[in-house]
Structure 1
Amino acid sequence: MEFPELINRLESYGTEQNRKIYRRHGAGENLYGVSTANLKQLKKEIKQDQALAEQLWGTGNYDARILATMIADPKQMQPELLEKWVQEDRSYPVLDALAALAAKLPDPTVWIDEWTSSDDEWIGYAGWHLLAQVATHDKKYPDDYFAPFLSNIETTLQTSKNRTKHGMNNALIAVGLRSEALEAEAVRIAKSLGKVVVDHGETDCKTPDAIAYIEKTKARRAKSKQ
């Protein structure tokens, strides 16, 4: 698919209702308001196209950037480009999508280490979301890999910046759901931290209680196996 055709399709799929919702989630004004279903359909048609992904990202458009992360080729994604992308956007849904892409790279731990150590609220958030992605989807890492991050969460979450704090809480949940040993440590830390308060702006989003979320997810998983 050629770039002009793709942009035209993105624009045609946008709706004012989606634009209103996405703005409340930090999308800014450069957006079309394309549904997730339509983005997934475009991804299915395009599959992977690194050159097209880079063109989409360069527009600065919210929907185009999300699609860019979906069609980018992890094997062709250069470290310098990934670093550039994470520094260029301050919309958490785009950073969520970028972290999902980073998790597919040959060694995402490089970015986990760098981004979770960043003083930048949004890069920090991306790093913790990336850790959650790896904890959830990549089984090759031992429990010991996650232990230092849990210690970091215990000592710094409550004093971290708003969006970084949210990413850390989500990472605590994801790591806690990885194994029984990690669950026990995550629950202990959650009890030690107490209530985690995050300002979600004008959205209806809520910060999940880590212990309750872990228990609920475990129950759902057990039920699905019956």
Structure 2
Amino acid sequence: MAQTATTTATLTEVMAELAALADPKARAVNEKHGDDHGVNLGKLRAVAKRLKTQPELARELWATGDTAARLLSLLICRPRAFDREELDGMLREARVPKVHDWLVNYVVKKSPHAEELRQAWFTDPDPVLASAGWALTSERVVKEPEGLDLPGLLDTIEAKMKDAPERLQWAMNTCLAQIGIGHPQLRSRAVSIGERLEVLKDYPTPPGCTSPYAPVWITEIVRRQQEAASP
């Protein structure tokens, strides 16, 4: 993309600001989760809030390949400005977990191409792309389940989640929990699958947080919903 002097200066200034915000301690924490940057996410969001939506700058930040710049890019972009091929290419480049997560949740879910990409990624042999397909499927389970084969999804989860790579396993587990939470007719089966597979059963959960272990997650959220609905 050709850049004007003004755009180049803006990109240069933002990159310099991100470099100044980098903190070795934050990098050490982020690297434990596979994220290779040292910018505190709260400070990154503050920069995005100041910049507001800037689609062209967002594209330039993404093109740098720098993780902090890409995260900022996803916060200031216009999701509907990307075509299907761009989003597919971006996801294939997004190997850093936080970039992958924000791209799917902040951009792809708001795109008119979300359903088409969901179907394409869901069956992709790359587990990272497949995990995005499952994340978008979970979104549909919650917001627009009509047309989804929910029992079929449970069949696939039951057969494949236990041995799936970590990122894909998390996405499948989320789908399992959302089916159990939102669809009472399938709740007992969802809980039974979770109990049998024991995925994330021993995951360390901070006090006050809900365990990602599906049977506990389902039971707790349903309890809260019932409590909120009771007079």
TM over 0.5: yes
Structure showing greater radius of gyration is: 2
The answer to whether the 8 Å contact 1:143/1:182 transfers is no
Aligned CA RMSD, in angstroms, stands at: 2.8
> 1:5 aligned to 2:13?
yes
- Give the direction of change, closer, same or farther, for the CA distance of 1:55–1:134 in structure 2 (3 Å limit): farther
Q: TM-score, length-normalised on structure 1?
A: 0.81
The answer to whether the 8 Å contact 2:83/2:113 transfers is no
The answer to whether the 8 Å contact 2:84/2:113 transfers is no
1:158 corresponds to which of 140, 162, 167: 162
Mapped partners of 1:60, 1:80: distance in 2: 18
- Give the direction of change, closer, same or farther, for the CA distance of 1:88–1:197 in structure 2 (3 Å limit): same
Mapped partners of 2:53, 2:89: distance in 1: 20
Match of 1:148 in 2: 152
Shift of 1:147: 4.3
Q: Secondary structure at the match of 1:119?
A: coil
Mapped partners of 1:219, 1:121: distance in 2: 33
1:115-194 matches, cutoff 5 A: 115-136=121-142, 139-142=143-146, 144=148, 146-192=150-196, 194=197
Match of 2:39 in 1: 34
Mapped partners of 1:183, 1:107: distance in 2: 30
| Residue identity opposite 2:171 in structure 1 | G
Mapped partners of 2:69, 2:132: distance in 1: 19
Mapped partners of 1:189, 1:55: distance in 2: 45
Q: List runs of 5+ in structure 1 lacking aligned partners.
A: none
- Give the direction of change, closer, same or farther, for the CA distance of 1:146–1:43 in structure 2 (3 Å limit): farther
> 1:22 aligned to 2:25?
no
Mapped partners of 1:62, 1:124: distance in 2: 22
> 1:76 aligned to 2:84?
no
| Residue identity opposite 2:199 in structure 1 | V
- 1:15-60 C-alpha deviation (Å, 9 max, x unpaired): 21110011111123xx2x2222222223322332222221111122
Mapped partners of 2:99, 2:41: distance in 1: 12
The answer to whether the 8 Å contact 2:200/2:213 transfers is no
Shift of 1:77: 0.9
Match of 1:196 in 2: 199
How many residues are matched? Answer: 216
> 1:64 aligned to 2:69?
yes
Mapped partners of 1:64, 1:224: distance in 2: 41
Match of 1:213 in 2: 217
Match of 2:100 in 1: 95
Q: List runs of 5+ in structure 2 lacking aligned partners.
A: 1-6
Mapped partners of 2:187, 2:16: distance in 1: 47
Mapped partners of 1:19, 1:37: distance in 2: 14
- 1:66-112 C-alpha deviation (Å, 9 max, x unpaired): 22222221221111111111111222221111111211112422222
| Residue identity opposite 2:127 in structure 1 | E
Mapped partners of 1:156, 1:195: distance in 2: 13
| Residue identity opposite 1:175 in structure 2 | I
| Residue identity opposite 1:115 in structure 2 | W
Shift of 1:154: 2.0
Q: Secondary structure at the match of 2:44?
A: helix
Shift of 1:10: 1.8
